[in-house]
Each structure stands twice: as structure tokens, then as C-alpha cells.
């Protein structure tokens, strides 16, 4: 009996040590990163084809719009610039993904698509998660546990290679399948071809109706909209961890990171919560939207209102986001191609 108890205690101690190493290791990693000089060019492996692959991750704001989602528009804008570089933008936004969801997705996606740049626009979903959890003391404890005990997330990440939807492909397979296609993708591609869309629309998971200038936008749930806005301006610990973990994963893979902010929301909260800001490009969407809305009104740019100041984008709204992203991305790429 004593031996069994001793055994259990040893295992517990092992896990305790392991947990502290996870915390310390994160800090060490940040320290090492701050010593490197990573501000240089993007090292692309595709020098022969002169291609630049951009992986866009986010929630329904990213995925929505079909042919007019902002990643699709971004691709068109970038390729129309005539830089000589062929841009491929992969839209892996999906509705309902919180920052922590995206943290566990981004590693496998990077390995799957091997992008040069990772773009993300996330955070608004977190309020749903945090809200559900933080009501009772028990739930507060659960949240605390989930946010601070790293070992579970670590174990989950270790098991990522077993996820069937994120199976890695060899370089040859990726090339043969034109860089992005698993069965789901191929099915969507065929669907789009039948519908008459272009190949770039393949990966969209959502499609919003277009809105017309002049219609009135209503907030469905005023309280939730306010809470969402509040959560974006003062991110809860859940979101802080999500962003920092996301940054860590992307940096570990050596990819450049572009973090965009929701329309009409200041960058200040993001700049405050992210510890390792070095070499991250932040993209704000305040001035562009404010000026445009002054002329054409909110309904021209949003299909609904998730917060009092923005919602899912209309084609025009998504175009504004795409343009600000293009402006931030072009200097990163063009500079490295023309030394």
C-alpha cells in the first residue's frame, strides 16, 4: 500500500515539476527570442516559383463572405499589384473559433500549408467562452485551471498529429494537389466550380448575404454586443493567453506574423497584452472604417452588428480590411525579393 501511495506521489511530483518547466520554458523562450534579430526578410523556400503563401486564421469575420471574404479580396489585391510575386492566400477562418481554438489549430496548419506569413484576426469569440465559464465559483476555478495549468494544453498539442483533419502532407503531395487540398477542400472546390466561382474560393466555410447601402443594422443582443466590445478593449486572461500562445507557436515555426484588429477597434489592447511584439506587424482598421462610414453609413460595410461598432463584413467592408492588410504585407515581401 505504501509503495502504491509513494508511486502516486512520485507521479504527482513529476507532473508538478513538468508544469513548472512549461512555465519557465515559456519565459526562457521569450528571453531568447528577444535576443534574436528576426526583422529581416522572409526566407521563402519557393524561390523557383517566386510565390508567397499567406495563411489567414480567424473566426466567422474571416471565413464569411465567400468570394468576397477579406482573404479572397486580399489575394486579388496582392496579385493585381504586379510585383512579380505570385500570392496565394489560404483562408482557414471558421465560425466560432476562439483564440485558444486557433492556438491549437495554427501549428498543424503551418505544417500543412507551410506559409510564409500568418495573418490572424481573432478575439471576438472569446467572450462566449469566458462568459459561460466565469459565473460560479466552481466555473471560475475551472477557468483559472484551464488558463494557468499548461500541462493539459501541452498534452493536447502533443496529440495534434493524431487529428485526422490535420494530417500532414509531404511536399510532393502538396505540390501535386496544388498546395491545398484534402478531401473536404476538393469537395468544396468542385462545388465552387459548378457554381461558377473561382478556385480561390475553395476554402470558405460561410457565406453572408450582401447588404445594400441605406438599410438599417440592428444589434440582436445588446448586452452581448456590449460585453463583446468590452472584452476586445480589455481582454480577459483567457484571451491574453490565447494571443501569447498563438504568437509563440508561429514564432517557433519561424513564420512572420501579422495581427489585425477588428474594424474600429484600437490596437492598444493587443499591443498591451502581447509580450513578444518583436517582428509582429499590427494592422489597425480604425481610420479607414471611420472615414468610409462617415460617407456611406454602417450598413454599407457590415451585414450585422456583433458589437455596437462592427459586425461581419459586407464585400465593401471586407475590402477595407483587405486593403489595410495588403498595405502591411507588401513591404514584407517585396523587400526580400529585391535585395
Partner 1 sequence: MLFNSTQFIAFFVIVYICYLLVSHQWQNRLLIIASCIFYASWNWKFLFLMFVSISTDFFCSQHIYRSEDRAVRRNFLVLSVAVNLAILGFFKYCNFFLGNLNALLEVFGLEGAFQTLSIILPLGISFYTFEAISYTVDVYRGVSVPAKKYGDYLFFVIYFPHLIAGPIMRAKDFLPQVTTPRVVTRDLFFEGLFLAFWGFFEKMFIADNLAKVVNPVFAGPTYDGAMVLLAVYAFAFQIFCDFDGYSNIARGLGKCMGFNISINFNLPYFATNPTEFWKRWHMTLSSWLRDYLYIPLGGNRRSTLITFRNLMITMLLGGLWHGASWTFVIWGAYHGLLLSIHKAVKDFCPGIKLFERAGWREVWFLVRLGVFFHLTCLGWLFFRARSFDQVRAMLEAVLFHFHGNGLYPWAYVLLILAPLLIVQVAQYRTGNLLFLYRQHWVVRTFAYSLMAYLILGWGIMRAEEFIYFQF
Positions in the binding site for partner 1 (CB under 8 A): 10, 13-15, 17-18, 21-22, 25, 28, 32, 35-38, 40, 43, 107, 111, 154, 157-158, 252-254
**Minimal distance, residue 258 CB to partner 1, in Å:** 17
**Minimal distance, residue 277 CB to partner 1, in Å:** 17
**Cβ closer to partner 1: 26 or 197?**
26
**Cβ closer to partner 1: 61 or 258?**
258
**Minimal distance, residue 110 CB to partner 1, in Å:** 9
Long-range (24+ apart) CB contacts under 8 A made by 321-325 are: 321/70, 321/121, 321/260, 321/263, 321/285, 322/70, 322/71, 322/73, 322/74, 322/77, 323/77, 323/288, 324/260, 324/283, 324/284, 324/285, 324/288, 325/70, 325/74, 325/119, 325/258, 325/260, 325/283
**Cβ closer to partner 1: 107 or 303?**
107
Burial class (CB in 10 A: 0-12, 13-18, 19+), 334: middle
**Minimal distance, residue 87 CB to partner 1, in Å:** 21
Distance CA 242, CA 102 (A): 8
8 Å CB contact between 90 and 203: yes
**Cβ closer to partner 1: 227 or 278?**
278
Distance CA 145, CA 80 (A): 48
8 Å CB contact between 307 and 229: yes
**Cβ closer to partner 1: 39 or 212?**
39
**Minimal distance, residue 111 CB to partner 1, in Å:** 7
**Cβ closer to partner 1: 227 or 275?**
275
**Cβ closer to partner 1: 42 or 188?**
42
**Minimal distance, residue 269 CB to partner 1, in Å:** 28
**Minimal distance, residue 17 CB to partner 1, in Å:** 4
β-bridge mates for residue 10, sequence order: none
The Cα-based distances of 199 to 118, 156, 321 in angstroms read 21, 33, 21
φ/ψ of 238, rounded to 5, equals -55, -50
Residue 234 DSSP one-character state:
S
Amino acid at each position: 500500500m505504501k509503495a502504491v501511495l509513494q508511486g502516486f506521489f512520485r507521479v504527482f511530483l513529476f507532473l508538478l515539476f513538468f508544469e513548472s518547466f512549461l512555465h519557465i520554458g515559456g519565459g526562457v523562450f521569450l528571453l531568447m527570442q528577444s535576443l534574436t534579430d528576426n526583422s529581416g526578410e522572409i526566407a521563402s523556400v519557393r524561390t523557383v516559383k517566386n510565390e508567397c503563401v499567406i495563411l489567414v486564421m480567424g473566426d466567422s469575420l474571416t471565413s464569411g463572405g465567400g468570394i468576397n471574404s477579406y482573404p479572397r479580396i486580399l489575394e486579388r489585391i496582392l496579385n493585381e499589384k504586379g510585383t512579380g510575386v505570385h500570392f496565394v492566400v489560404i483562408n482557414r477562418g471558421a465560425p466560432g473559433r476562439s483564440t485558444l481554438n486557433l492556438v491549437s489549430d495554427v501549428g498543424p496548419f503551418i505544417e500543412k500549408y507551410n506559409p510564409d506569413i500568418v495573418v490572424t484576426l481573432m478575439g471576438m469569440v472569446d467572450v462566449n467562452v469566458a462568459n459561460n465559464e466565469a459565473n460560479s465559483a466552481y466555473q471560475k476555478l475551472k477557468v483559472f485551471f484551464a488558463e494557468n495549468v499548461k500541462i493539459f494544453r501541452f498534452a493536447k498539442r502533443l496529440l495534434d498529429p493524431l487529428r485526422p483533419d490535420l494530417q500532414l502532407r509531404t511536399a510532393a503531395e502538396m505540390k501535386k494537389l496544388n498546395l491545398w487540398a484534402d478531401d473536404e477542400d476538393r469537395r468544396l472546390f468542385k462545388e465552387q466550380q459548378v457554381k461558377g466561382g473561382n478556385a480561390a474560393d475553395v476554402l470558405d466555410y460561410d457565406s453572408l448575404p450582401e447588404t445594400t447601402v441605406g438599410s438599417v443594422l440592428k444589434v440582436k443582443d445588446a448586452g452581448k454586443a456590449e460585453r463583446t466590445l468590452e472584452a476586445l478593449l480589455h481582454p480577459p486572461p483567457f484571451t491574453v493567453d490565447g494571443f501569447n500562445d498563438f504568437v509563440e507557436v508561429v514564432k517557433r515555426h519561424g513564420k512572420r506574423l501579422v495581427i489585425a484588429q477588428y474594424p474600429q477597434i484600437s490596437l492598444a489592447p493587443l499591443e498591451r497584452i502581447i509580450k513578444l511584439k518583436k517582428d509582429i506587424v499590427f494592422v489597425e482598421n480604425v481610420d479607414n472604417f471611420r472615414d468610409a462610414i462617415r460617407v456611406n453609413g454602417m450598413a454599407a460595410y457590415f451585414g450585422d452588428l456583433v458589437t455596437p461598432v462592427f459586425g461581419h463584413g459586407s464585400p465593401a467592408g471586407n475590402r477595407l480590411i483587405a486593403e489595410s492588410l495588403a498595405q502591411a504585407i507588401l513591404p514584407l515581401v517585396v523587400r526580400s525579393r529585391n535585395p
